[in-house]
Amino acid sequence: LAGVVGMVPVMMLIGRKVMAFKADPSVTPLDRAALVEQLREFKLEGSPFELKEKDGVLIVAPPVLTTEITMGMQHRNVEETFFVKIWLDEEKRQVSLKDIVTTRTEMRGAGEYFFQIHGQSGFVTSSTLIVDGSGKVTKLGNGALRKALIEMFNQSGWNVSFKIF
């Protein structure tokens, strides 16, 4: 237990220092309102993303596709999605990102029901299917989402780091 507790500061340091992306110094930083507006217009692979704000934290999420499978008397519903929580420190022009992945599985059959939710957070890897404006389905990994967000923030004059915990 002491080893696990001792690793917490190390992981926090890694998230803040090692996984840090510096802003373009030649760019005049956008203010918070302009940056949030850019997030509202954010698209990747032609697909728009949902932006929510709660308690000062921004959440960027791709549209969710649900897989439904029916075989004989059993029906299965699997939904996996990922989203990114974003904290903005306007004074320091610092963005902190944290990946969240959730999987929800539901199975129904003759006389049985099973439901499970699984989640991970920190710096995680996952992929999902997204739909663009024309209805084309594309596989998107959260690494591509993370990279696009980092580029957008850096080109807007903001530094980026990760929250592991």
Is the pTM higher than 0.75? no
Count CA atoms within 13 Å of residue 36 on its CB side. 14
Extract the tokens encoding 92. 């320091």
Looking at the predicted structure, is the pLDDT value of residue 91 above 90? Answer: yes
135 close to 63: Cβ distance less than 8 angstroms: no
pLDDT digits (tens, 9 = 90+) for 16-70: 555 688 998 999 999 999 999 999 999 887 778 889 998 889 998 876 656 666 6
Q: What is the pLDDT of residue 134?
A: 78
Residues 81-87, mean pLDDT to the nearest whole number? 86
Amino acid at 108: R
Helix crossing, 32-40 with 142-155: angle to 10°?
140
What are the residue ranges spanned by the domains of the chain?
Answer: 2-162
Q: What is the pLDDT of residue 15?
A: 47
Please, what is the average pLDDT of the chain?
A: 78
Extract the tokens encoding 96. 């902190």
Q: Which residue has the tokens 């990922």?
A: 82
